[in-house]
Amino acid sequence: MSDGPLIVQSDKTLLLDIDHVLSDECRRAIASFAELEKSPEHIHTYRLTPLGLWNSRAAGHDAEQVIDVLLKYSRYAVPHSLLVDIAETMSRYGRLRLEAHPVHGLILVSNDPAVLKEVTRGKKVAPMLGSQLDDETIVVHPGQRGFLKQALLKLGWPAEDFAGYVDGEHHEISLKQDGWQIRKYQELAAEGFWHGGSGVVVLPCGAGKTIVGVAAMAHAKATTLILVTNTVAARQWREELIKRTDLNPDDIGEYSGAKKEIRPVTIATYQVMTTRKKGVYAHLDLFDAIDWGLIIYDEVHLLPAPIFRFTADIQSRRRLGLTATLVREDGMEGEVFSLIGPKRFDVPWKEIEAQGYIAPADCVEVRITLTDAERLNYATAEQEDRYRFCATSQTKKDVAIALAKQHANDQVLVIGQYLEQLDQLSVDLGVPVIKGETPIKERERLFAMFRSGEIKCLVVSKVANFSIDLPEATIAIQVSGTFGSRQEEAQRLGRILRPKADGRGARFYSLVARDTIDQDFAQNRQRFLAEQGYAYRIIDADEILNKN
C-alpha cells in the first residue's frame, strides 16, 4: 500500500483525493483514458469506459501505460480483475480491420477468426457483408464502410480503418511563412491527424484549433469543405485562411443562409446543411458537389444527426473533427468515434495555460439566496418550469448587474439562455444584446466594437457560445444555461481564455440559486472543467451586493 491520491475500484470507478499533493499530477495522467463523473469538494469520481479506453488506444496509449498509471498513483492494491479487463478492452480496438482489396473493393479482416465469426452473426452487421474469402477475411458491400463501423462499435468490436482515402481534387495550399509561426502542439496535432487519416483533435478554447485545421489543409493540398456552427464563425475561418495561407480570397466560398458559393475551399454552416424543404435535406448534395480531399468539422461535439448520417456515406474522404471537448450531452460520442474517427491528439487545458497560450482563469460560483416570494414561486412551479424560475429570478438579475458594474473597466460578457432575461439585463445595464435574431452584420459590428474596447460590456445568448473570437474579454457572468450542459460550460469559459495583451487572467462567474435545481445543474456543468483542473471557489452573493 502506498500513499497515492487515487483509489481504484473493481466497478471501474477511480476516486481522486484532490487535497493530496500529487492530485494534479495524477489528474493529468488519467485524463487521457478516464471520464470525470462527480467533482464535489474533496473526492472526484472518474469512470473507465470502453470508449474512453479505445480513444486512448487510438491516440497512441497502450494498456501497459494505462495500467502503469493506475499502479503508480493508487493508494491500495488495484483489483487484478480490473487490470485484466482494461487489457482485454483495449486489445479489442484493432482486432478487426477494414482494408482495401484490389478485386473486392473493401474487406473486413481479423487475425482472430472467432471474432470475425461473432460479429458476422450480428443482425445489423450481416446484411452489410458479402462473401467470406477465408477464415480471416470477408467482403464488405460498397457504401457500407461507415455504417459497418457504427454497428461494430455497438457490438464492442471497434474496427480500425485502413481502407485508405481518395486524394480529392488537388488545390495548392501552403502556410505563409511571414508574420506568424505555428505552435509546436498545433503542428503535432495536425501531423497526428494526417498520419491517422481521419479523427478528432481536442484542444482548449482559445488554443488555436482553427490553425490546426489550416495546417491539415496544407498537408492535404486539396479541395476542402469546412463545416462550422454559424455565419460569424464562417467569416472568422475565412479571415484566418487569408491571413495564414497563400489562398486567394476568390478560392474561398461561403455556403450559408446568405450565400451559396461553392469554391475549392467552401465554408458551410451546420444550419444550412440541415435545413429541410418538404422533408428533404436540400443542401446535403454539397458533400458531392466537388471531389473533396478533406472535410473539417468545427466544434464536432455539436454535429447534428443528419450530418452523421451523411458522413457515414463519405468514409473515403479524410475527415478532421475539431473540438474543446468530446463530451456530447446526447450520448453520441460513439458516432463521432466511428464516423469522424477516434481522438488523434489532445492536450490538457492547464498544460496550454502553463505554456502561456491561454489565459489563466479564476472560476467563481456565486451562490444566491432567493427571496421568500421567489422560493414560493419556484416551489409551486411545474417541474419542467422550475429551472427557468430560479435561473431568471430578480435576485439573480440584481447580482449580475452588481457584478457587471464592479467590472466596469473590464471587457465583460453577460451570458444566458432566456431571452426575456437577457433583454432586461441589456436595458438595465444600458448595453447591447446579441441573440439569434440579431442580424449577422449587426453581430459583427458589435463584436468589432467590443474587441476595440468601444463597448465594454455585451449581453449575449448561446449564439456566442461557439467560435467567437473575442481576445480581450476578461470577465464572463453566466446567469443561465442549457440545464446541466458540460460542453456549454467549457465553451463559455473559452470565450475569455484568449491570452490578454497585458498578461491579465480571466474570471468566470457562474450565478447559481441556492437550494434549487440550478445547484444540481451547476455541479454537472462544472464536471468537464474540473477534469481539466479548474476549481470553482464558492462565494455568497451578499459579498457582491454589499460592495455596491
- Per-residue model confidence (pLDDT) at position 286: 82
Closest CA to 351 of 343, 360, 342: 360
- CB contact at 8 A, 533 and 350: yes
pLDDT at 548: 61
For position 484, what pLDDT does the model report? 67
At 520, the amino acid letter reads: D
pLDDT for the residue 226: 95
SS3 content of the chain, % helix, strand, coil (to 5): 40, 20, 35
Distance (Å, whole) CA 136 – CA 110: 5
Phi, psi of 487 (to 5 degrees): -65, -35
Q: Which residue in the block uniquely carries the three cell numbers 477465408?
A: 134
Cβ atoms of residues 131 and 139 within 8 Å: yes
Distance from chain centroid for Cα 46: 19
The phi and psi torsions of 40 (rounded to 5 degrees) equal: -75, -165
Three-class SS state of 47: strand
Q: How far apart are CA 353 and CA 374, in angstroms?
A: 40
Cell triple for 531: 477534469
| pLDDT tens per residue across all 548 residues of the chain | 568 999 999 999 999 998 899 988 998 899 889 987 777 768 888 899 999 999 999 888 899 999 999 999 999 999 999 999 999 999 999 899 999 999 999 999 999 999 999 999 888 999 999 999 999 999 999 889 999 999 999 999 999 999 989 999 999 999 998 878 899 999 999 999 999 889 999 888 888 899 999 999 999 999 999 999 888 889 999 999 999 999 999 999 999 888 899 999 999 998 888 888 877 777 877 888 889 999 999 988 878 888 888 888 888 899 999 988 877 767 788 888 889 999 898 887 888 888 888 888 888 889 999 999 999 988 998 888 888 898 899 999 999 999 999 999 998 999 998 899 999 999 999 999 998 888 888 988 998 898 888 999 999 988 766 656 676 788 989 898 876 677 777 778 778 888 777 777 888 898 999 999 988 888 877 877 777 777 788 889 888 888 76
The pLDDT, as a whole number, for residue 122 is: 85
In whole angstroms, give the CA distance from residue 42 to residue 25. Answer: 16
Report the half-sphere exposure of 201 (CA within 13 A, side-chain side).
32
User: Alpha carbon 198 to chain centroid distance?
Assistant: 16
Question: Contact, 58 vs 196, CB < 8 A?
Answer: yes
The whole-angstrom separation of Cα 246 and Cα 479 is 43
Q: Which three cell numbers stand for residue 11?
A: 466497478
Pairing assessment for the beta strands 13-17 and 6-8 based on DSSP bridges = antiparallel
pLDDT of residue 527: 75
Distance of alpha carbon 324 from alpha carbon 525, whole angstroms: 15
Domains for the chain: give ranges and CATH numbers.
6-92 (no CATH), 96-162 (no CATH), 184-352 (3.40.50.300), 359-545 (3.40.50.300)
Q: Which of helix, strand or coil describes residue 103?
A: coil
Q: What is the C-alpha separation between 151 and 160, in angstroms, rounded? A: 13
φ, ψ dihedrals at 152, nearest 5°: -65, -35
What are the beta bridge partners of residue 540?
Answer: 367
Query: What does the H/E/C string look like for 231-291?
Result: HHHHHHHHHHHHHHECCCHHHEEEECCCCECCCCEEEEEHHHHCCEECCEECCCCHHHHCC
Q: What is the pTM of this model?
A: 0.83
Cell of 410: 473590464
Residue 88, CA distances (Å) to 53, 94, 341 in order = 10, 12, 21
Tell me if 196 sits within 8 A of 221, measured CB to CB.
no
- pLDDT value at residue 533: 75
Which residue is listed with cell 491517422? 196
pLDDT at 468: 66
Helix (H, G, I), strand (E, B) or coil at 488: helix
Task: Name residue, grid cell 474561398.
Answer: 252
Give the sheet arrangement for strand 96-101, strand by strand: 129-134, 137-140, 105-109, 96-101, 159-162
Reported for 116-119, long-range contacts at CB under 8 A and 24+ positions apart, including other chains, are 118/155, 118/157, 119/152, 119/155, 119/157
> 224 forms bridges with which residues in the sheet?
265, 294
Structural element, H or E, at residue 210: helix 209-220
Cα–Cα–Cα angle for 499, 297, 170, rounded to 5 degrees: 105
- Which CA distances in Å does 145 have to 165, 212, 392, 400, 456? 12, 27, 48, 51, 51
- Paired with 415 in beta bridges are 460, 478
Nearest to 269 by CA among 320, 235, 292: 235
- The residue written with cell numbers 439569434 in the block is 436
C-alpha cell at 401: 448587474
What is the predicted pLDDT for the residue at 99? 93
CA-only gyration radius of the chain, Å: 24
